[in-house]
Structure 1
Amino acid sequence: MTTIDPVAGRTAGPGDTARAPDATRTTRTTRRRSGVLGAVGPVVAVVVIAAYCLAPFYWMLVSSLRRTNDIFDNSLLPTAWSLESYTKVFSGSTTFARALLNSLIVASTTTVLALALGIFAAYAIARLNFRFKTAVLTVIIATSMFPGISVVVPLLRLFSDIGWINTYQAMIVPSLSFAIPLAVWNLTTFMKQLPYDLEQAAMIDGCTKWQAFRKILLPLAAPGVFTTAILTFIHSWNEFIIALSMVNDPAIQTATVAISKFTGASEFQAPYGEQMAAGVIVTIPLVVAVLLFQRRIVEGLTAGATK
């Protein structure tokens, strides 16, 4: 008995029936392999990207745990574990501890001021209707695009004239030029997602405009505020060029500047171990902050993605 093969468009004879199961089995095997590759491929890509990004931090941590004589050893793990570099960072001097405190003061003050100004500015832009709103947002975000090195000389001249050299405000005010636009832009986008009906309902129930803002909108905007605060703090904590240019007093300098000024046993020896250990110490507060507020950060970054 012969049948018509609808795919090939020809008459299928008895000899073709033996090949049909083999073709079906091959198709199933191909699909199974494609499914496995489709599931494993993204995982492999994530692992490769994560390894590439974390490799410098891993090498910094491993190098900080080597002895000074083994600092140029290329093994993946130290041959002899040692806290010698960490001891040297703090031994005999409180300069680095003071630098950590200075970084905390500058970063915290910058973050608080940026949020205080950014929240009100973002609320006004998101809720009020006025001409050139888009132009205002464009100008605000454009002010943060100037490279720091381009404003160092004018700021140095200005701060020298008004006596701000070797002061905290000489580092905080320039950092605000990036932090405030970031806060305004992020919070404006976030507040536009909040329904205006919530404010109206609160005011109908007897709240003033300020009470509706403080009791209704701010709690709802908490994920965006946390995300902006973390990003602003990280940028201020890592800032280097302004702090290096405006401060030459060891009692005022930040941790990033203090690390760059570490000296070895002689002027011809670079203290790589101490610099690696100090780098690990400086990174720890950022890692802790991200881990503590991870859920808030994710909520803020994904706000408005779904309805």
Structure 2
Amino acid sequence: MRRGGRGAGWTVGAVLAVGWALLPVAWILSLSLKAGDDVQNRRFLPTAWTLESYRVVFRSALFTSALRNSIGVSLIATTISVALATLAAYAIVRLEFRGKRLVLGMALSVAMFPVISIVGPLFDVWRSVGLYDTWPGLVIPFLSFTLPLSIWVLAAFLRQLPWELEEAALMDGATRWQAFRRVVVPLAAPGVFTAAILTFLFAWNDFVFGISLTSTDRARTVPAALAFFTGASEFQHPAAAIAAAAVVATVPVVLLVLLFQRRIVAGLTSGAVKG
């Protein structure tokens, strides 16, 4: 009975925690399906269901250009970050050199650095060198924060790989690069997926860099564009349209996590226990 009661208690607690976490998402989804003055009422469900806010979102040049910018910037930052982090993590794990722990410590300190504290200097520098309001002007700051995190994730994962397979490939005549590309990288796929998804989520959800280092639709990303979204007209309350845009921006992230959740969990937990 005690075990049954304890299991029921854990179940109830898990349901309450999940419900509490999903409540804001459900509220935004409900708000996006309301129309007109219906957004002003206090009812959770809309009195009249409509998809007009989603039509407004996809007709808006502001949102479509921001969506294109978010996809492009996030994919570029993710590709570069994971490629460099994989090479750096391999070197840290497999090579012996002075200052290895210092490199990891500095990487962690950079990842923990407050983003808002470097926006001002970056704004001045980017205006001077011509990177303001451009894709590279967003990709570079993203890399400075995602690379350390990716290096830590991949280094923790690479430490528990069976290096005998790489040594066997070297003994069979493969070069170090061939062994890395054909043996190490396939084995490290869960860690690579984890680092890639964490990097993509950071770039996709960023607001501070997107709002501070852009000024037009040329490079402004979705989180920053939502701050300027007004809906169908300046006389219409934009709450429902903003909620619809937020739902559209959230769907790719949710699908990404659901599709690769097993690889994410494997990448995060594989380096935790060795043996």
Shift of 1:305: 4.3
Task: Report the AA paired with residue 228 of structure 1.
Answer: A
Tell me how far 1:74 sits from its aligned partner: 2.5
The count of corresponding residues between Structure 1 and Structure 2 is 273
- Name 2:27's counterpart in structure 1: 59
Distance in 2 between residues matched to 1:266 and 1:292, nearest whole Å: 39
Task: Name the counterpart of 1:300.
Answer: 267
Supply the AA of the counterpart residue of 2:180.
Answer: F
- Structure with larger RCO (C-alpha < 8 A, sep 6+): 2
Percent identity among equivalent residues? 45
> Paired residue for 1:97?
64
Do the aligned partners of 1:67 and 1:85 also contact (CA within 8 Å) in 2?
yes
Displacement of 1:208: 1.2
Please say if residues 66 and 82 of structure 1, whose CA atoms lie closer than 8 Å, have aligned partners that are also in contact: yes
Task: Tell me how far 1:254 sits from its aligned partner.
Answer: 0.9
CA distance in 2, matches of 1:296, 1:247: 34
Written as runs of structure 1 = structure 2, the 5 A alignment for 1:148-297 is 148-263=115-230, 265-266=233-234, 270-297=237-264
Amino acid paired to 1:60:
I
**Aligned with 2:40: secondary structure?**
coil
- Equivalent residue, structure 1, for 2:5: 37
What is the match of residue 69 of structure 1? 37
SS for the counterpart of 1:143 is helix
Distance 1:117 1:240 in 2: 24
- Unaligned 5+ segments in structure 1 are 1-31
Could you tell which deviates more after superposition, 257-266 or 148-157? 257-266
CA change 1:151–1:270 in 2 (3 A) is farther
1:58 shift after superposition = 0.7
Question: What TM-score comes out, normalization by structure 1 length?
Answer: 0.85
Once residues 237 and 138 of structure 2 are traced to their aligned partners in structure 1, the CA distance between those partners, rounded to angstroms, is: 27
| 1:116 to partner: Cα distance | 1.1
Q: Which amino acid aligns with 1:166?
A: D
RMSD after superposition: 1.4
Structure 2 residue matching 1:71: 3-state secondary structure: helix
Max Rg structure:
1
- What SS is found at the alignment partner of 2:111? coil
Q: Which residue of 1 aligns with 2:94?
A: 127
Give the aligned residue type for 2:228: K
- 8 Å CA contact retained: 2:36, 2:237: no
- Distance between the aligned counterparts of 1:191 and 1:199, measured in 2? 12
Residue 73 of structure 1: CA displacement? 2.5
1:29 corresponds in structure 2 to none
Gap regions ≥5 residues in structure 2? none
Q: For 1:68 and 1:90, how far apart are their aligned partners in 2?
A: 18
- Structure 2 equivalent of residue 144 of structure 1: 111
Please list the CA deviations of residues 18-75 of structure 1 after superposition, one character each: whole Å capped at 9, or x if unmatched.
xxxxxxxxxxxxxx2x222111111111111111111111100011011121112222
The aligned residue for residue 79 of structure 1 is 47
What is the rounded CA distance, in whole Å, between the counterparts of 2:141 and 2:200 in structure 1?
14
TM (norm. structure 2) is 0.95
State the Cα distance separating 1:147 from its structure 2 match. Answer: 1.3
Which SS does the other structure have where 2:217 is aligned? coil
Q: Structure 1 CA distance, aligned partners of 2:161 and 2:133?
A: 43
